[in-house]
Chains A and B, each alone.
Chain A
Amino acid sequence: MTTSGAPALALEDITCRFAGRDGGAPYTAVASSTLRVAAGEFVSVVGPTGCGKSTLLNVAAGLLAPSSGAVNVFGEPLIAAAGVNRRAGYMFQADALMPWRTGIDNVVAGLKFRGVPRAEALKQGEDWLRRVGLAGFGDRYPHQMSGGMRKRLALAQTLILSPDILLMDEPFSALDVQTRQLMENELLELWAADRKSVLFITHDLEEAIALSDRVVVLSAGPGTHPIGDFRIDLPRPRDVSEIRMTPAFLALHKEIWGAMKEEVLKAYQQQKVA
């Protein structure tokens, strides 16, 4: 899957330390982590809850400046102070749609920010609504849509700008299991169409294996860092609900879970103490 040249996204030796609350000791969320995503590669990052996965993604997006380390986007350094990562689209875990805009106006928001004329933006917007299965729902406000529809809308809002890198932070974690598998299949289909680089954060190992080319396992916090890197050579195209039953999938699951289990228990113990 890797192509020649610089990786689409390279997080080099990233450390993120946050000042302690009320003069407490500083908290190191991420410690010396290196993570690379090749062009066209789908990489998932799994780890126990609260281990700093989102912090890592915010660094990649340029929303957060790391305490030390460098971020390179297609070989060029990203400096958070100079603005966000313009080549990346970000899909958030929480609802990030503008509640005061209709579906179509939310989808075309990025185009409008870039100064695309309204008529042209609307044309592309309608096209994307159709591609995510929301044709005819463009005049609805987000509060008039179900959770699954809002996620599709958010996906269209991000993909319409055709970003070279797609950052996703547990985008489907709030959905029920059935809707979630439908969305995962749709994501794979849309991704297969033009093969962007994807950095997908999740706490769900099954989701990670079913979607990705590569799964990176993070340690429990504080001082999160990658502790395992697994290549997933399951055939594509995949159907996420069917692939979960295959022996190859189960073998991979067993192998990665073996590396992850200890960290999950560690995180659980920490949360019980805290």
Chain B
Amino acid sequence: MRLRVLQFAVFAVLILLWHVFTTPGIIPPFYFDRDNAAAFFFGEPIKVFWTTIDWFTSGEIFVHLGVTLLETVLGFFIGAVSGLGIGLWLALSNTASAVMEPYIKGFNSMPRVVLAPIFAVWFGLGIWSKVALGVTLVFFVVFFNVYQGVREVSPTLLANARMLGASRWQLLRSIYLPSAMSWVFASLHNAVGLAFVGAVVGEYLGSSQGVGYLILQAEGTFDINTVFAGILVLTAFALLLDAIVGLIERGLMTWQPKTSETEKI
């Protein structure tokens, strides 16, 4: 409880400082030569707040937010599922992983955001170019974690399951997959963030809808308050997505020991 109060205090102080330094007339300008220059560059928290409220009350934001979230979720799912599938396949097949290794390394070290213009050409300015960018970002995070997870399965656990009569398919289902899942979940928080990045960057480079598009439009008219409002909304929804992943993780990973867990009497 004390912690919550302190956390909120930090937030309040930051907003207050922002307000004091940017609102014209509160303190005399000490860096810029004009009174409203600070507000022009950094926005004003009260105006940002009202812009945000206005978006939600007028309903203007929903269509944009919906598009951005749809792109994020699609990018996330396609990227995560293909990362899981291909990660399992390469980790279990030595030949395939040896053949593919240089290509995987190459694609991973490439700054994949530069693919965005190419995707825009291939998939147009609709949602799919953004989804594609999200997929390339998410895929590698999940892929490397699955690969690692499968490679680090305890040999004793495998030998035991084989002695108990598990077939190849049963080994996959009851040993490799659950073992890889704990690694996958560790990467999913990261992956959701990257899917979001893919969606917004994609929108930023060319789109007609989405929160990234709103920010781009506002920037074009030097409306810095709307830009900040957009950032605020994006941050809030990124946190929300992260919380959802955390919730799913807790539901599926009940078997993992928590630190110093004791029985309640």
Contacts and interface: CB of A to CB of B under 8 A. Distances in A.
A96 interface: yes
- Of A85, A88, A100, the most chain B CB neighbours within 10 A belong to A100
Contact of A63 (B162, B175, B254, B256): B162
- A contact patch SS: loop
Interface residues of B, number: 22
Contacts of A158: 163-164
Given A98-B175, A100-B178, A157 B156 contact: no
A261 interface: no
Contacts of B179: 100
A102 to B, nearest CB: 8
A161 B257 contact: no
Interface string A76-104: 00000000111011101011111111100
Contacts of A92: 156, 159-160
Given A100-B178, A100-B255, A113-B170, A90 B160 contact: yes
Contacts of A88: 163
A104 to B, nearest CB: 13
B163 A89 contact: yes
A98 B162 contact: no
- B contact patch SS: helix
A69 interface: no
Interface in B144-178: 154, 156-157, 159-167, 170, 174-175, 178
Contact of A114 (B156, B157, B159, B165): B165
Given A84-B162, A96-B159, A141-B257, 12 more contacts: A61-B163, A85-B163, A90-B159, A92-B156, A92-B160, A94-B154, A97-B160, A109-B164, A113-B164, A113-B166, A113-B174, A144-B261
Interface of A: 58, 61, 63, 84-86, 88-90, 92, 94-102, 109-110, 113-114, 141, 143-144, 157-158, 161
Interface of B: 154, 156-157, 159-167, 170, 174-175, 178-179, 254-257, 261
